[in-house]
Structure 1
């Protein structure tokens, strides 16, 4: 029994380290390549990819910081409030940008010209700050009703009513259930549009590749979110039976919860690797970018003797005459 708890504890410690190590290059390359290359910025989905990458970066950083005892949420009252606030802010933001990408792909592949107008750079620029502003307003109560609770000084809710709302409504609905519903809905609608061969009529080659990348990432996100969705439903259904659980059942549930959190964490590390595997143009551009960057680092400034060059040039001209 204790071995199960020990495995869960080890998993809770090492999973943020693994996710951070794999996810940081993904977020970094997404931001550098999609921001730095002009032709990639022509797709509206690029704005949502950049927003998702920034959110992913903060999510992974928060998960890693929570493992560091010197920067733990229990260090001070302000640290407790800010860590809970940003953790509840960035995860819904990342899922919101993923949902916006799925919406954009449905709009750009639609039969209706009016719906296709929703897939534009102007619309994407206007929608880009909305997830950050919306979730910042929604999560303000975390700054008010969270603090260190004596005598153990654990970071938790100071208001029982808001604690129940946050645990059983805000966190599961906005971070898991609602994004999963939106992703499944727009994936089905986009598939129907593509199935009718509408995508070939008005989309460029890069937009077609972008659509394929977003669809694959959306499908992966659905499969990664489903285990956490099932566990959340199970926790809500068995809420009244919590006092009757044995130590073995609690240990198993703790281990399953850590596994589902790790699987869901794949959402925050996989975007660039999916784009790199399923987009020949992005793969070629990334290789050229890295090659140019490597050549730039290897370039060295060699001192030149101007007098020798002038003498050689004069000798060549004399020989030609």
Structure 2
């Protein structure tokens, strides 16, 4: 199989695979974290719900772009809508992951003042912020993207915004900056958990009122750290690719056909790896949290009345 064929196959089957895997994952997250009372007591639930919603939106945009009749090249309206919502959903999903990482850092901090930042009240106030913020920031994509002759590809119609998007919004906001934020809060949370001997006692004494809730907060922290590690691994190739493109942007016109084919393939491949961020959160929670698996099993038994019946003598 040639590189061109591999790129074509990946551009078609990659989005379809991510969508079906991600739909089950994110829909399951929304059902479990809303349906189980214990999860609703954690501030991270707000961020997981927001992330699941935006993940589904991002996966839908990825899928639509792979279908010729609904892709950005189908019409001027579809071009504007696809570009706009693609730029809104993906950064919003990453923003909810930042908030989850920040919440876990605050939750595990020794400082009482910092731990107060991890609360349902604050999480509920911040829930709408990523939606509103990115909806406003990405308005130029709706205004300055259109089908441009003679090729009628969906590209930028404003040269200044094209430069801003190419050198700032796409590489920094979409990949490099989220990667730095997640690494920083991941390291800080790890230090809070494993570098301080009295973290658990401080959490139980000053923040949590019952032992069961304390246990769930610990499980939520493990789940969020696991998801953060996955996101770092999936975002790193995309960030490296963006840095490479920025370095050779003025030399692309001089590249040979074979070199351009490799660049296009790496673009599709790193985009697919980055798309895993939006599809696997539920499976990561299942893999790294035994209590999460047990809670789902108990919830399903209650929903479908599968509890064991015992006959007394």
Please give the TM-score of this superposition, normalised by the length of structure 2.
0.91
Distance in 1, Cα, partners of 2:254 & 2:198: 56
Which residue of 253, 275, 284 maps to 1:243? 253
Partner of 1:117: 116
Count of paired positions: 295
Partner of 2:230: 220
Distance in 2, Cα, partners of 1:124 & 1:156: 37
Partner of 1:48: 47
Partner of 2:153: 154
CA RMSD of aligned residues (A): 1.5
Q: Does the 8 Å CA contact 1:102/1:215 hold for their aligned counterparts?
A: yes
Distance in 1, Cα, partners of 2:235 & 2:225: 15
Distance in 2, Cα, partners of 1:243 & 1:70: 30
Distance in 2, Cα, partners of 1:127 & 1:143: 25
Q: Does the 8 Å CA contact 2:36/2:299 hold for their aligned counterparts?
A: no
Distance in 2, Cα, partners of 1:257 & 1:152: 21
Partner of 1:176: 175
Say if 1:199 and 1:17 are closer, same or farther in 2 by CA, change over 3 A: farther
Distance in 2, Cα, partners of 1:222 & 1:198: 28
Which whole-Å deviations, capped at 9, do the CAs of 1:122-180 have from their partners, x for residues lacking one? 11011111111111111011111111112332211111111121122111111101100
Partner of 1:314: none
5 Å matches for 1:191-230? 191-195=190-194, 196-201=196-201, 202-203=203-204, 204-230=214-240
Distance in 1, Cα, partners of 2:226 & 2:252: 38
Distance in 2, Cα, partners of 1:178 & 1:101: 16
Q: Does the 8 Å CA contact 1:74/1:155 hold for their aligned counterparts?
A: yes
Distance in 2, Cα, partners of 1:91 & 1:167: 16
Q: Does the 8 Å CA contact 1:93/1:132 hold for their aligned counterparts?
A: yes
Partner of 1:275: 285
Distance in 2, Cα, partners of 1:69 & 1:254: 18
Q: Does the 8 Å CA contact 2:41/2:120 hold for their aligned counterparts?
A: yes
The offset of 1:9, in angstroms, is 1.3
Q: Given the alignment of the two structures, is residue 82 of structure 1 paired with residue 92 of structure 2, yes or no?
A: no
The offset of 1:6, in angstroms, is 1.4
Partner of 2:137: 138
The offset of 1:230, in angstroms, is 0.7
Partner of 2:309: none
Partner of 1:60: 59
Please give the TM-score of this superposition, normalised by the length of structure 1.
0.88
Which whole-Å deviations, capped at 9, do the CAs of 1:297-318 have from their partners, x for residues lacking one? xxxxxxxxxxxxxxxxxxxxxx
Partner of 1:317: none
The offset of 1:294, in angstroms, is 4.4
Which whole-Å deviations, capped at 9, do the CAs of 1:186-221 have from their partners, x for residues lacking one? 011111111213441215000000001101110111
The offset of 1:80, in angstroms, is 1.1
5+ long unaligned stretches in structure 2: 205-213, 307-313
Distance in 2, Cα, partners of 1:42 & 1:179: 27
The offset of 1:16, in angstroms, is 0.3
Partner of 2:310: none
Partner of 1:3: 2
Q: Does the 8 Å CA contact 2:234/2:273 hold for their aligned counterparts?
A: yes
